Amino acid sequence: MHETTTLLVEVGALLLLLGLLGRLSRRFGISPIPLYLLAGLAFGHGGLLPLNASEEFFAVGAEIGVILLLVMLGLEYSANELVGNLRSAAPAGLIDAVFNALPGFAFALLLGWGWVAAVVLAGVTWVSSSGVIAKVLNDLGRVGNRETPVILSVLVIEDLAMALYLPLVTALLAGAGLLKGGISLAAAVLTVVVVLAVAIRYGHLISTALSAKDPEALLLGVLGLTLLIAGIAAKLQVSAAVGAFLVGIALSGPVAHHATELLSPLRDLFAAVFFVFFGLVTNPMDMPPVLLPALLLAVFSMTTKVATGYLAARRAGIAEPGRWRAGLALTPRGEFSIVIAGLAVAATYPVNPKLAALATAYVLITVVTGPLLARLPDTPWFKQWLRTRAAAARAVSPLPAPTAD
């Protein structure tokens, strides 16, 4: 009984604080994500006032938060749009892998950590945070922008790539042979293909089974289906985020519209929990020794991620403001990077113990600065800079420069 009471006090106090921080951030016109993370750091391991009783609650809530963020993004798009975007964004996905996995790989080799640690750090720097980016797009009102499908295509390709990468890196860290690693990889590929095929071919049947006329039944049905598919995907070594996104893709029509309205408050609640939990499990005392290397890696890899989004949006015919919005929105790393670092910590294969601290500091830097950078294209001075560039381009070339989105 005492533990339950303590849990209620801790959760209630922290949620109240998040509400106040959210209101404060909106008053100053900034994203609440950095404030949520700082709150987690203040009350997590090594913080000012550690909260122990509620950690398990926030761990589960964080998982649900990522799942809800991704299913809500999936509800915005149809299966045909997904397939079309994936086909058109395949070259961007390849550029993304080359530009953003190689910095981590090379950085680990330069530090002398060995090739297995290099493979692990490559995954940490490669994948953007779907949860953070989904929250940023929603906060900035960009879900309906022309560049958003490009951003989502890159994220989905990354998540699908993680379905192949995670089993492989798990086998490497366990010291397994090529045969076991190959079997894990084949199982992951088969699972992704089956889930995607079911979502595209039979999605209309799922929408028919869920009535939009009964809000309570619709909420329970969509939420239950999303958690079920996400859990099964995770059990099969596939990203739970991919499973949740495909559930959103499978739903269409009035069901998707009403589900969006019903799930929005839950998404906001558990998304905040996700960002707080990330701070709760990060010990600020582990940061100073690796802060400079993490900062250097963050600056370099965030630059390559901006280039990735910019090139992907340009290839899709998006004008220059949208290209910058796409590139800057992709800079945060998050949940996958922490999962990958966690695999290295618990590995049988010996990996440099500094890797986990470096990954945590790196992710924290990108998660705090990423949402702030995403707002740059909306600032007056950035818009003036774009107009100056457009005028210079018109002066050099007789062809008209692209108009602003």
What's the pLDDT score for residue 163? 64
d(CA 34, CA 358): 19
d(CA 162, CA 278): 20
Dump pLDDT digits (tens) for 124-174: 999 898 878 888 888 888 888 889 888 988 887 887 777 677 767 777 776
What's the pLDDT score for residue 57? 83
Dump pLDDT digits (tens) for 17-36: 989 988 887 777 666 777 88
d(CA 295, CA 283): 17
Mean pLDDT of 344-349: 64
Q: Which of 12-16, 78-82, 214-218, 309-313 has the highest mean pLDDT?
A: 309-313
Mean pLDDT of 345-360: 73
- Mean pLDDT score across all residues of the chain: 80
Percent of the chain with pLDDT over 70: 82
Segment among 80-84, 204-208, 274-278 with least mean pLDDT = 80-84
270, 65 Cβ separation under 8 angstroms: yes
Dump pLDDT digits (tens) for 211-263: 777 888 888 988 998 899 888 877 776 667 777 877 887 787 788 888 888 88
Dump pLDDT digits (tens) for 97-125: 999 999 999 999 998 888 888 988 999 99
Domains of the chain: 73-274+291-386 (1.20.1530.20)
**How far lies 117's CA from each of 114, 169, 383, in Å?**
6, 10, 41
Question: Is the pLDDT confidence value at 306 over 90?
Answer: yes
